[in-house]
């Protein structure tokens, strides 16, 4: 005899929810910081996955957060070989800040991870694959360039001079507004 014989089992589902959708960033130029570089095997063979943290160029260390508080990341997939003109080549040149020719040694992971570049982010809607019909952010090929951060004034003792009190209030308000906009 089965233990559930004569007993009714009731399963209750909660309401059906869509997959969490995060709002898209505005289409603009952003500062990208390479946080990870991984090699994966996909349907097209071995690929590199470039994972970038995103920030405004004016505040390269203030990474944009999703509405759940996690840092926004953009992923890009490329071949494992750096072919002149390819997206991998553009990433390597922009992140290292040097031109890479045919006979140059390719950069290694340590030369790239933690480095910054500028790139234009736009929206795309794939027509095929598991992401078909879902609009997402993408990095515009040809828009990548090295990041040259804002100059930090330093005093003779090595510390940055403090701005005047009224300027401190303005700087704090601007930072709060930009952080609110970034969310």
pLDDT tens for each residue of 60-107:
999 999 888 899 999 999 999 989 999 999 999 999 999 999 889 989
Beta carbons of 92 and 82 less than 8 angstroms apart: yes
Token pair of 67 as six digits: 């509405």
Report the distance separating Cα 111 and Cα 3, nearest Å.
Answer: 63
Q: In angstroms, rounded to a whole number, what is the distance separating the alpha carbons of residues 94 and 33?
A: 11
The string of pLDDT tens digits covering residues 111-134 is: 999 999 999 999 999 898 888 889
Share of the chain above pLDDT 90, in %: 54
Q: Phi and psi for 38 in degrees, rounded to 5?
A: -125, 155
State the pLDDT confidence band at 35, using cuts at 50, 70 and 90.
very high
- Mean pLDDT rounded to a whole number for the chain: 83
Report the C-alpha gap between 2 and 113 in whole angstroms. Answer: 59
Top-ranked range on mean pLDDT: pick from 10-14, 25-29, 147-151, 157-161:
25-29
Looking at residue 58, its pLDDT comes to 93
pLDDT score for 158: 46
Would you call 56 helix, strand, or coil by DSSP? coil
CA-CA distance, 121 to 144, in Å (whole number)?
Answer: 10
Q: Which tokens hold the place of 146? A: 């090295």
What pTM does this model have? 0.69
Nearest to 22 by CA among 60, 59, 70, 75: 70
**Residue indicated by tokens 């944009």:** 64
Q: To which residue do tokens 């952010």 refer?
A: 137
At 141-152, the pLDDT tens digits run: 999 999 987 654
Q: Mean pLDDT throughout 10-28?
A: 76
Whether residue 13 has pLDDT greater than 80: no
């Amino acid at each position: 005899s089965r233990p559930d014989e004569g007993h009714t089992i009731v399963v209750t589902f909660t309401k059906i929810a869509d997959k969490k959708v995060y709002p898209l960033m505005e289409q603009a130029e952003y500062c990208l910081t390479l946080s990870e570089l991984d090699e994966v095997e996909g349907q097209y063979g071995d690929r590199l996955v470039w994972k970038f943290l995103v920030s405004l160029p004016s505040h390269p260390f203030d990474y944009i957060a999703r509405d759940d508080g996690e840092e926004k990341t953009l992923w890009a997939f490329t071949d494992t070989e750096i072919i002149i003109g390819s997206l991998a080549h553009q990433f390597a040149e922009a992140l290292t800040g040097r031109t890479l020719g045919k006979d140059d040694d390719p950069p290694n992971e340590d030369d790239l991870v933690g480095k910054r570049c500028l790139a234009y982010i736009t929206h795309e809607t794939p027509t095929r694959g598991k992401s078909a019909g879902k609009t997402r952010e993408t990095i515009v090929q040809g828009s990548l360039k090295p990041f040259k951060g804002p100059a930090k004034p330093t005093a003779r003792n090595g510390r940055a001079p403090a701005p005047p009190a009224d300027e401190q209030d303005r700087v704090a308000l601007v930072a709060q507004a930009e952080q609110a906009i970034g969310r």
